[in-house]
Amino acid sequence: METKSTARAFGGTQSVYTHQSSECGCEMTFAVYLPPQAQDGPVPVLWYLSGLTCTHANVMDKGEYRAAAAELGMAIVCPDTSPRGDDVPDDADSWQFGSGAGFYVDATQEPWRKNYRMYSYITRELPELIAANFPVDMDRQGIFGHSMGGHGALTIALKNPDRFKSCSAFAPIAQPSTAGWSVGALSRYLGEDQAAWRAYDATLLIEDGARFPEFLVDQGEADGFLDDGLRPHLLEQACDKAGIPLTLRMQPGYDHSYFFISSFMADHIKWHAARI
């Protein structure tokens, strides 16, 4: 692991690191914010998964999470959204597939299966690295994310309810197996058999019996992707049927951008802190 940068922020430290990933078969980059409380011992850790076209840097630069994280003593880990590099296959003509669009799945199809293993990277390899190198309490973890990352957070929490004590999302892709901007990615990563897609679809995981104690979702009403790609009502219907408490907050006038995310970031961190 190599430190690429570090800076003081709100009494803590914001750092960026790279390491050679065995799961993704390339060098991966991630950011970690450690609050001032980490100087005295392990702190809870909150994982933030970013959306399409993003890297670790988008939320680090524009998410405005450090003040709340410092106040509440929360470490924030921000992974990249996909493998990257000259030797990693990509589709340069699509912003919805390949680089910046890993969808937090483990690909099974060629040529993607060697590198596009973001599910295992987020749930196994990176947590092991974080636990070994940072003062965090791995018994107190939460996860959240935006858009594609909101999809990832929901599915990872549903599949790992014993690991994560809290899960929230900003404008998540609620049902990626039927959304226009994710169907193509799932078919190329996982194949044409849609039964394989169910493991990475929050609504279908719930339909198949997966459970989580509760979710918080914020969604902008002025989001241009609301009706075609995000469709939070599908998650609401699935949670209602399964008896999973969902707080779905439709936010008038807000879009899909980091202006929206940063407006409610502190709310989410406080919500997680109360549960972690």
The pLDDT, as a whole number, for residue 75 is: 98
Burial 88-119 (b: 16+ CB within 10 A, else e): bebeeeeebbbbbbbbbbbbeeeebeebbbbb
pLDDT in tens, 87-99: 999 998 898 899 9
What is residue 260's DSSP assignment?
H
Name the β-bridge partners of 29.
18
The CA angle 110-114-120, to the nearest 5 degrees, is 120
Residue 209: Cβ within 10 Å count: 8
The pLDDT, as a whole number, for residue 181 is: 87
Which positions are annotated as active-site residues? 147, 223, 256
CB 89 within 8 A of CB 112: yes
Which one, of 158, 189, 217, lies nearest residue 83 by Cα? 189
The pLDDT, as a whole number, for residue 117 is: 98
Q: Report the distance separating Cα 78 and Cα 29, nearest Å.
A: 9
Is the pTM of the predicted complex or chain greater than 0.95?
Answer: yes
pLDDT in tens, 185-208: 999 999 999 999 999 999 999 999
CB 172 within 8 A of CB 202: yes
The CATH superfamily assigned to 2-275 is Alpha/Beta hydrolase fold, catalytic domain (3.40.50.1820)
**Token pair 């990693």 in the structure block, residue:** 88
Name the β-bridge partners of 75.
45
The pLDDT, as a whole number, for residue 85 is: 94
- The DSSP string of 20-55 is EETTTTEEEEEEEEE-GGGGSS-EEEEEEE--TT--
Name the β-bridge partners of 216.
168, 247
* pLDDT tens digit at each of 276 positions of the chain: 999 999 999 999 999 999 999 999 999 999 999 999 999 999 999 999 999 999 999 999 999 999 999 999 999 999 999 999 999 999 988 988 999 999 999 999 999 999 999 999 999 999 999 999 999 999 999 999 999 999 999 999 999 999 999 999 999 999 999 998 899 999 999 999 999 999 999 999 999 999 999 999 999 999 999 999 999 999 999 999 999 999 999 999 999 999 999 999 999 999 999 999
The CA angle 48-52-53, to the nearest 5 degrees, is 105
The pLDDT, as a whole number, for residue 276 is: 92
Q: Would you call 98 helix, strand, or coil by DSSP?
A: strand
The pLDDT, as a whole number, for residue 81 is: 98
Q: Would you call 75 helix, strand, or coil by DSSP?
A: strand
